[in-house]
Each structure stands twice: as C-alpha cells, then as structure tokens.
Chains A and B, each alone.
Chain A
Amino acid sequence: MYTARALSARPCTLGTSQSAPRLTLLCLTGLPLIDHHEIGHLLGNDVVAPDLGGGAGRANLDDVIQAGRALYPNKIVMYMSQEADEPAIWNLTLRDHPTDEHYKPIAIDARTAKVITEPAFEGGAFMSTMFRLHVDLFAGLPGKRFLGLMGLLLIVAIVSGVVLFAPFMRKLDFGTVRHGRSARPKWLDLHNLLGIVTLVWALVVGANGMVNTWADVLLKYWQATEIAAMLEPYQGATPPARLASMDAAIKRAEAAAPGMQVAFVAFPGTPFASPHHYGVYTRGNEAFSARLYKPVLVDAQTGLITDQRDLPWYLTALLISQPLHFGDYGGGWMQFLWALLDVATIVVLGSGLYLWVQRGRAGDE
C-alpha cells in the first residue's frame, strides 16, 4: 500500500542513513564556528588594537600598506579589510601569487601604521580545521559541492520528516514522549519532538548553507557581466606599472559614497578588482545596511573613480541571507540559542540513524 507515509519514509530514512554521519559532522564543526570570536579570544588568537586614547586619527593608507609589504617584500598585497566594529585595525592579506591558497594575514594599526601582529592562519590550527571540515573537507571546490549536496539531502530529509510527522503524531498530544518496554517509541517521539521544534531553523540554516556553496558561481557571473561592462573602456590596455596612491583613491571613494565606510579593498589582479583597478567596497553603518556592499572601481593608475554601481539583486540576496546561516547577527543570546538548536539537530540526526538501524521492529504505533 503506497500511502504518503510509505513514500515519504524513503527520502527521510535514505537522507538520514546515507548522510547522517556527514550532516552530524557539519553540525559538530559548525558549533565552534558560531562562537569563533569568543573561542579566538580564549585561544589567544584574536587581534586587539592597543589603546591610544581618543582622537588618535587615521594613518596614511599608503604607510599602512608599506608596513605590511616591508615584512614580506616578495609577496603581493591582495586585499585589505576592516571589521565594522573595529576601525582601529586594517587586515592585510598577502600572497605569493594571485591563486596562492595560503595567504599571509597581517593586522596593522589604522592610526599609527604600525604592525600589531601576524594573526594565525584562519584563526589558528583548531578553528582552521573546523572551518575546513565544515566548508570543503580539505578538498577544495569538489568538497564544497559535495557538502552542498549534503545540504540538499538535509532539506529532503526534513521535508519528508514533516510528512511523516502527521501519521505518527495524530493520536498523541504535542510533546508526548512515550515509554514502553523497548526504547524505540521513546526515541521515535524524541526524534519527532526535536525534529518539529527545530524544523524552520534547520531548513533556513540548511538552505542558506547550500546557497553559500554556490556563492562563487554568483560572483563569477557578476564579474562576467557587470564588472566586465564597467571595464569595457580598458580593453586592450596594459596594466599599470606603478600604482596610484591608495590613500587618495580611498578618500575619493569615500567622498563619492557619503555615509558609507570602506569595508574592504581589492588590489589590481584579484577576483574582486580588475587588472587596472582597485576594487573599493563600502558599506553602510547601520545593522542592516552594514551587510550591503557598494563597489567603487578606482583606476589604479590615475586614482580616479571609473564607475560605481549597486550590487545586483542576487548578490544583495546572498549578503542578506548569509548571516542566517552563521547566527552571528543577534548578539550572545542568539549564539547561545544557535548552539542549542545545533545540538538538538545532532540529536535528531542521531536518533534518526538509530531508528533506521532498528527499523522493522515492533513498537512504531
């Protein structure tokens, strides 16, 4: 008899049994990432700007860049960025060549242009391992696509779990956890209870996680269309031999985007700039607008603004939805609840696997 329950039991159990260990890995490795700032602090890997008192001013950006370059004369400066809540620090990343994966991060005081520290790569060995296991299993793009597929399986399992919820819970009050001679009904009821209370959260986090694995495709599309259109006048030109003053370029970009502050700057030749341009990305300074970037392309030879545009809708949607995966946008309570929901999801996955292993035994009803 092919009832809805029989049909939907397939994707639910298939999704859980085949991918439960990997999904549990995603939940476990995601757990420390929720609190990466606090853990970085505990491990002594976070960067703190020295207290200079008020009104220390801003150093010339060319001096800031020079301070980083002096440490590694053979490397290229790729990006410099600033956290929204820490304007006293510029984070520089340097690489041997534009596709070098092992970039060198340097934190420089934005007020004095003195090197503060060279932060641990990806926040230290522990956080870096958690991050890699969560994002690409140390396997680059194929690993990322694989985990994206796991996210899709999670969504399929959740949806089919909702369909299964009805026949199992129809005769029971919400939240009932039954006890019998076998442990199975208890675990089935806990699976249903925790599955249904974490449902919307897990769907949102899972879907956004999956979308994040495709973010690089959206970026490539944007570069091939809008950025390419902005660069049309430069076709065939040779890249500049000497770069114009970054300090002057940033000041022009800031003047062109009033009320915005610089979030990060991409140097010529990187994916977020062009061979001829600095890519200056500004953001607003309120909770919502701080998540939206506005790119300003500055000619790297003349230091003049070439073009500035708003981000296309698909990148705006990506930037707004990304925090919904990380849970880093609502303060300490949100991080705490995020961690609890994550642990509850691990229990749902574990009990689902247990129920699958014990399948066919009596006591379902």
Chain B
Amino acid sequence: MNSPFLKLWGIPLLLGASTIVGLVSALLGDGIWDIVSAFALGAPVAAGFWHGLRGWRH
C-alpha cells in the first residue's frame, strides 16, 4: 500500500468487488453459490462493524 491511490481506495475497491460477487453469486444458483454469496456480502458488513464498533468504544 505504498501508492496514495491504493492507500485511499484499496480497501473500498476490495469491499466493492466483494459486494458484487456476493450479489451475483446467489443469482446464479443455490447451495454453494448461496454460501459464497454470504461470505462475499458479509465482508463489507464485517468491515463496517469492526471499524465502527472499535471507533465507538474509544
């Protein structure tokens, strides 16, 4: 994470990509596709919770 662009946008881009994978995966099928979707869609939720709660407690 040396470049200023990646420092700023690296994690948002990863979470955005993960969200898209989560949204599309469950459309394509059931079973394993739903599980992949749950994890991929869970990533931005987890990131929001983790940083949000950590910041809140201080």
Contact = CB atoms under 8 A, between A and B. Distances in A.
Contact of A340 (B22, B29, B45, B54): B45
Contact of B38 (A199, A288, A334): A334
Interface in B2-58: 4, 7-8, 10-12, 15-16, 19-20, 22-23, 25-30, 33-34, 37-38, 41-42, 44-45, 47-52, 54-56, 58
A199 B55 contact: no
Contact of B34 (A165, A174, A201, A334): A334
Interface in A304-343: 320, 323-324, 329-331, 333-334, 337, 340-341
B44 to A, nearest CB: 4
Nearest to B4: A170
Nearest to B11: A174
A194 interface: yes
Given A330-B26, A334-B37, A337-B38, A177 B16 contact: no
A14 interface: no
Contacts of A166: 8
Most buried by B among A190, A331, A341: A331
Given A287-B30, A329-B27, A330-B38, A190 B52 contact: yes
A196 B12 contact: yes
B52 A193 contact: yes
Contact of A194 (B11, B26, B30, B48): B48
A189 B28 contact: no
Most buried by B among A178, A193, A334: A334
A179 interface: yes
Contacts of A194: 48, 52
Contact of B29 (A186, A199, A286): A286
Nearest to B18: A200
B41 A174 contact: no
A344 interface: yes
Contacts of A337: 22, 38, 41-42, 45
A331 B48 contact: no
A197 B12 CA distance: 7
Interface string A148-188: 00000000000000000110011001111111000000100
B5 to A, nearest CB: 10
A198 interface: yes
A174 B54 CA distance: 13
A208 B44 CA distance: 20
B2 to A, nearest CB: 14
Given A175-B51, A200-B23, A330-B37, 11 more contacts: A173-B7, A175-B47, A197-B15, A197-B48, A199-B12, A199-B15, A201-B41, A286-B29, A331-B26, A331-B34, A340-B45
30 contacts: A166-B8, A169-B8, A170-B8, A174-B12, A175-B51, A179-B55, A189-B55, A190-B52, A194-B52, A196-B12, A196-B15, A197-B12, A198-B48, A199-B15, A200-B15, A200-B16, A200-B20, A201-B23, A204-B19, A287-B33, A288-B29, A320-B27, A329-B26, A330-B25, A330-B38, A333-B37, A333-B42, A334-B41, A337-B22, A337-B42
Closest 9 CB pairs of A and B: A177-B55, A330-B26, A175-B51, A333-B38, A200-B19, A197-B48, A197-B44, A200-B16, A174-B11
